[in-house]
Amino acid sequence: MEQNIHTRITESSIRTEEIPSLLNRPEHGAQIFFFGVVRNRNLGRAVITVSYDAFIPLVEVTFKQICEDANLKWGPGLQLVLIHRIGQLAIGEVSVAIGVGAVHRNEAFQASRFIIENIKSRAPIWKKEFYEDGETEWLDGHALCGHTSETLSEELS
Amino acid sequence: MANLFRIKGVVKMSQIRVRMFGAFRNLVSEGVLQVEVPEKLTVVGLKILLGEKLSTLPSSFDVTRLLSNSVLANESRILPNLEEIHNEMTLALLPPVSGG
């Protein structure tokens, strides 16, 4: 399963044009791409830049678990790409990129949605916004709870 | 790291490092807090100890509230509340996450 999963956390710009080449299975009839992009407003405040902090070793473990969970739920045989940016990002830059290759569109769409929602609730990554008025704020988020693949397996059984 | 294990009375103490992330990161120098802990201290015990230390520091947010919603982890997993802390461990204090 591992060779069908490509995960990365990077301080460099995400080259989205390279992602389709990572999904290259002839039996797959669907490819879905999701890009999270830094926007210029949040909760009515003008945002000028954002910064991502991460506990990288655990992010790497968690990304692989999320992808394996997606494959367990909508596979087998999904091909998955998950790349997250850290450090300072400008408005319009891609913060997260997800690619899913699957036999049919339904599992590709659902696995893509599953992966982004699980990144938001399980990956130890934090976003700080910098506002036009000079203030900054760490965004409220999801409390971690030690979700494991085993608990997902139990939920599915 | 040097072995800092020693005896204080009958209670063995050890030194651990706790890396800080998100809003906690800027509370301490270089985002790392050195903490002396007694033998067999559990994760929940360490959170209480961290609360005592962090709540004395100047901060723009409610440290106690954020700590209550945070977890401790090593490099491969989130630690359950009743797990014992071991000598020379390096842990990470993880507040609620907001990636994506």
Q: Verify whether the Cβ–Cβ distance B100 to A141 is below 8 Å.
A: no
Question: Helix (H, G, I), strand (E, B), or coil: what is residue A138?
Answer: strand
> Above 50 in pLDDT, residue A155?
no
Question: A–B: how many Cβ contacts below 8 A?
Answer: 92
Which member of A36, A138, A146 has the closest CB to residue B22? A138
Whole-number average pLDDT of chain A = 93
Q: Verify whether the Cβ–Cβ distance B98 to A144 is below 8 Å.
A: no
- Top pLDDT among A54 and B89 is at A54
Across B21-99, where does the E strand assignment appear? 32-38, 71-73, 90-94
Give me the mean pLDDT over the A113-129 stretch.
98
Dihedral of the CA atoms A21, A25, A26, A28 (nearest 10)? -110
Q: Verify whether the Cβ–Cβ distance A124 to B70 is below 8 Å.
A: no
Which residue of B lies nearest to A54 if distances are taken between CA atoms?
B21
Token pair, residue A23, equals: 């999904």
Determine which of A37-51, A66-80, A138-152, B78-92 has the lowest per-residue pLDDT on average: A138-152
Which residue from B91, B8, B98 is spatially nearest to B45, judged by alpha carbons? Answer: B91
Determine which of A3-7, A146-150, B78-82 has the lowest per-residue pLDDT on average: A146-150
pLDDT > 70 fraction of chain B, expressed in percent and rounded: 89
* pLDDT score at B60: 87
Range list of H helices, chain A: 56-74, 105-122, 149-156
Which residue of A lies nearest to B76 if distances are taken between CA atoms?
A58
Interface residue A72 vs chain B (CB under 8 A): no
Give me the mean pLDDT over the A2-21 stretch.
93
Q: Verify whether the Cβ–Cβ distance A146 to B80 is below 8 Å.
A: yes
Residues of B in contact with A119 (CB under 8 A): 99-100
The pLDDT confidence band at residue A136, using thresholds 50, 70 and 90, is very high
CB A85 within 8 A of CB A13: yes
Which residue of B lies nearest to A122 if distances are taken between CA atoms?
B97
Give me the mean pLDDT over the A34-41 stretch.
98
The pLDDT confidence band at residue B36, using thresholds 50, 70 and 90, is very high
Q: Tell me the shortest Cα–Cα distance from A136 to chain B, in angstroms.
A: 11
Token pair, residue A32, equals: 């879905």
pLDDT > 70 fraction of chain A, expressed in percent and rounded: 90
pTM recorded for the entire structure: 0.89
Residue type, A55: F
pLDDT tens by residue, B72-87: 999 999 999 999 998 7
Interface residue A142 vs chain B (CB under 8 A): yes
- The H or E element containing residue A82 is strand A79-85
Task: Name the β-bridge partners of A131.
Answer: A47
- Helices and strands counted in chain A (H then E): 3, 9
Residue position matching structure tokens 């020693």: B6
Which member of A54, A57, A119 has the closest CB to residue B75? A57
Question: CA neighbours within 13 Å on the CB side: how many for A57?
Answer: 11
Dihedral of the CA atoms B40, B43, B47, B48 (nearest 10)? -40
> Above 80 in pLDDT, residue B88?
no
In whole angstroms, what is the distance from residue B55 CA to residue B73 CA? 20
* pLDDT score at B79: 96
Interface residue B22 vs chain A (CB under 8 A): yes
> Above 80 in pLDDT, residue B4?
no
Interface residue B67 vs chain A (CB under 8 A): no
The pLDDT confidence band at residue B1, using thresholds 50, 70 and 90, is very low
Phi, psi angles (nearest 5°) of residue A111: -65, -40
